[in-house]
A and B are shown apart, each in its own frame.
Chain A
Amino acid sequence: MSDISQQLREQILQARAGATKLDIRGGASKRFMGREPQGEALEVGRHRGIVSYEPVELVLTARAGTPLEEIVAALDEQGQMLSFEPPCFGGNATLGGTLACNQSGPGRPWGGSVRDQVLGIRLINGLGEELRFGGQVMKNVAGYDVSRLQAGAMGTLGLITEVSLKVLPKPGETLTLVTETSMAEAVRLMNERAGQPKPLSAACWHDGRLYLRLSGARSAVDATVRQWGGELLENDVAFWRELRDQRLGFFDGDAPLWRFSLRSSAEPLPLEGDWLIDWGGAQRWYRGDADRARLDALAAEAGGQVSLFRGGDRSGEVMPAQAPALRLIQQRLKRAFDPDGLFNPGRLYSWM
């Protein structure tokens, strides 16, 4: 529970003076993501603690190194939650890393992503300046949205030291329906049902089974269960948690894990291998041998993109290629925040 932001700032200033590169680490739970880390460790894990939490305002502010589990526990006491259900990856994931890597769990299409729920941040840029963007209120359109810009930047724009989030009440009731069905049929059903005004809160398909989670007022959940039908899944909380933290059997082993982010209704892609479909069809996990160019082409046809999420060769590019103009904009933005290229060099792209 301590504020070590001055120490972190000192280290950044020293790195700048000595032309050292920095490798930002919170709980080190996502070292497998992105390209191979390089540089001297900038440890944020000790910069932790909930700074303020106002349940009635639906706002929580915590230091970047705060473990998600600590935040979730504090919210739980007040009957609230992080609606984006971030993966804890074995318990060490921190708030800052979750935002930097834009990590959200099964509830994402309905409860929003971490990026959606962020209200403000504190950030130390590459000049060692401590900056504050956004705030602790739901609406704030003064200045550019630097807080949300961080989502997916993987720390390349600076060191996030504090995050304010919108939190939400927990639903009164949660139940999960399971139906045996094919992948194609599941994609259709997930999308059709998401188009109905029902309390759907997660939709996943794997190994011939479609899982639909319903969350909301008890009466609404019960009525929807009767209308839609299907088996009730026992111990469904554990199922969604294991899916969220990537601990289901599907995620075992060292085979490369590909992540597709697509139009939710896209037809199953013609690729041999094992699939797990989450986010109502919008996030699809694939394990199988694949030629990158073919994957990219299929992803583009389905309105999205594909990245090498875990495993495989991490010295090459793991994120989808950026169009030249977007690459240029991101390089310029990088320079605008971190002119000496101190933070996480090459972690997101070789050219950043």
Chain B
Amino acid sequence: MSNLNNSTKAQLAERFRRFIDPEYVISDDETLRPYECDGLSMYCEMPMLVVLPETVEQVQEVLRICHREQVPVVARGAGTGLCAGAMPHAEGVVLSLAKFNRILEIDPLARSARVQPGVRNLAISEEAAAFGLYYGPDPSSQIACTIGGNVAENSGGVHCLKYGLTVHNILGVEMVTVEGERVQIGGEGLDSAGMDLLALMTGSEGLLGIVTEVRVKLLPTPERARVVMAGFDNVQTAGDAVGGIIAAGIIPGGLEMMDTHAIQAAEDFARAGYPRDARALLLCEVDGTAEEVQEHIETVETLFAQLGATSVRTSHDEAERALLWKGRKSAFPAVGRISPDYYCMDGTIPRGKLAQVLTEMDRMAERVGLRVANVFHAGDGNLHPLILFDANVPGEFEKTEELGGKILELCVEVGGCITGEHGVGVEKLRQMPVQFSDQELRQFNAIKDAFDPQGTLNPGKGVPTLRRCQEYRSIEANPEAVGA
């Protein structure tokens, strides 16, 4: 860091300490270190400063100062994101919302809750349980991830097909603009007049404003939930079976698929009784009233058997249901045991293309000498290929990253997209020009300008500048030039 920057840093820290508890203005390297990355730790950057304001007024003041001084601001929740969306900016301030961790109000009759952005996703459901209610979206990081981060990424989970994403489960947000102004978007009703700014904010990756409060919808906890596990001897048959369930008019609460690598890793780890020899495994959870679950479970069991399942098992109690899910829920750490490292991708594809995509992916992986395990939100087409690699082998991460990029491009090719729920962040900037034209990217940049003309909110994330797109495209066209 240059002397000029050092003096900016000291001055800025000193100004923040005038209105924020000095302990919560972090400027020394040792304390800054934990903030250098989010859940995607391959991407690191030390921030200039980290602040942890405790009131909205303090957030406003931080933004006003940074706006005046044109200092980048990167909002951060729990740092569990998987696209380097919360990676700091070297000359910027990390604005942690960690102190905003209170549930302000639960309205059981209207079935909503008003919460601060740093509240953990799962904490909302835990608090609402007393009223027989819960919050729908359940990303796998729900123990740790915060609702503010969920809004920024439009997080999903395993129940999206039936219960939707974050965008479907929030009623309003309070936001502070880059200029430091506090605005209310949405409210307690189901819609508001004018453009749907709430939808625009959801998934905007901290590029448009800082969310300081969220009103979420709460759902009645289903009376009953049961899960059917089915093994298949090929992926195509399993994919068709998913289609069969949908065609029968059933929308399962959760519908997950795993491939051979994932099944074996999960079984070694969780001992859930998964069929080790299966090429694909489906977990289909049906929830609702006791009568409905009974009716639908029978249909699902029959369909799986008819549609070529080699084994079918249904949970009979909560313990068995939890056990069957345990394998799936521990799939990521389980894969972590069969390989020194893994890299989780997040493409979305039309479900009908699954077999084609998996076959093509295996071919691509084989060509570069890597293995891929797959976990698939089969109900909504969200594929998580886990590329297995060893970071200690020189060049292997680069190879992995390249394969990952190719996989995302394949997803776009078959009519899908480069990210279903993890977001673009820094990680997928290179693939944005694959999914979008220059005109579309220019439109995104114009939206950004409408909120943040100086471009100080989470710069370098989410949407590439056109200059960078041209660079990416010329690299694609002439890959030999890169190594130089």
Contact = CB atoms under 8 A, between A and B. Distances in A.
B197 to A, nearest CB: 7
A153 B363 CA distance: 46
Contact of A220 (B177, B194, B292, B419): B292
A170 B381 CA distance: 21
B273 interface: no
B288 A220 contact: yes
A29 interface: no
Interface string B271-306: 000000000000000001111101110000000000
A243 interface: no
Contacts of B348: 135, 137-140
Contacts of B382: 138-139
A143 B436 contact: yes
Q: Which of A56, A142, A194 has its CB near the most chain B CB atoms (within 10 A)?
A: A142
Interface stretch (A10-18, A41-49, A110-118, A175-183): A110-118
Size bin of chain B's contact surface = 35 or more
A171 B203 CA distance: 31
A209 interface: no
Given A139-B382, A325-B181, A195 B131 contact: yes
Interface stretch (B43-51, B156-164, B326-334, B366-374): B156-164
A66 interface: no
A141 B419 contact: yes
A141 B416 contact: no
A142 B449 CA distance: 18
Contacts of B185: 326
Given A131-B439, A137-B381, A152 B289 contact: no
Contacts of A283: 189-190
Nearest to A300: B187
A255 B221 CA distance: 42
A102 B419 contact: no
Main secondary structure on B side of the interface with A:
loop
A113 to B, nearest CB: 7
B190 A113 contact: yes
A92 to B, nearest CB: 23
Interface stretch (A1-9, A68-76, A245-253, A259-267): A259-267
Interface in B182-231: 183-185, 187-197, 199-200, 202-204, 208, 220-223
Contacts of B484: none
B77 to A, nearest CB: 16
Contacts of A172: 249
A94 interface: no
A264 B110 contact: yes
Interface stretch (A232-240, A286-294, A329-337): A329-337
B153 interface: yes
Given A142-B418, A220-B292, A197 B197 contact: no
B417 A142 contact: yes
A152 B168 contact: no
Contacts, number: 288
A262 B189 contact: yes
Contacts of A218: 295
Contacts of B446: 336-337
A144 B200 contact: yes
Contact of A139 (B108, B109, B380, B451): B380
Interface residues of A, number: 91
A52 to B, nearest CB: 10
Contacts of B350: 54, 57, 59, 136-137
A157 interface: yes
Nearest to B242: A56
Contact of B243 (A56, A141, A146, A220): A56
Given A149-B199, A336-B450, A223 B193 contact: no
A256 interface: no
B435 interface: yes
Interface stretch (B262-270, B394-402, B422-430): B422-430
A129 B349 CA distance: 26
A138 B194 contact: no
A54 B247 CA distance: 11
B440 interface: yes
Given A56-B351, A223-B289, A326-B185, A320 B110 contact: no
A344 interface: no
Interface in B417-458: 417-424, 428, 432, 435-437, 439-441, 443-444, 446-447, 449-451
Contacts of A326: 183, 185, 194, 197
A305 to B, nearest CB: 6
B133 interface: yes
A261 B190 contact: yes
Interface in A296-315: 302-305, 307
B75 interface: no
Contacts of A59: 350
Nearest to B205: A141
A261 B189 contact: yes
B197 A57 contact: no
B381 A139 contact: yes
B161 to A, nearest CB: 7
A303 B215 CA distance: 11
B87 interface: no
Contact of A305 (B189, B223, B248): B189
B340 interface: no
B167 interface: yes
A112 B165 contact: no
Nearest to B109: A265
Going nearest first, the 9 A-B pairs with the smallest beta carbon separation are A303-B188, A148-B199, A304-B189, A169-B249, A220-B292, A139-B420, A332-B450, A138-B380, A219-B291
Given A144-B204, A219-B291, 18 more contacts: A57-B351, A102-B191, A129-B439, A130-B439, A132-B437, A137-B348, A137-B350, A137-B420, A139-B160, A139-B165, A143-B440, A191-B111, A197-B222, A222-B291, A320-B192, A325-B183, A326-B183, A348-B194
28 contacts: A55-B246, A57-B381, A112-B164, A112-B168, A113-B191, A130-B439, A131-B440, A135-B348, A138-B420, A141-B153, A143-B440, A144-B204, A148-B167, A152-B191, A194-B111, A196-B220, A219-B295, A220-B291, A263-B107, A264-B111, A283-B189, A283-B190, A304-B187, A320-B192, A326-B183, A332-B450, A336-B443, A336-B449
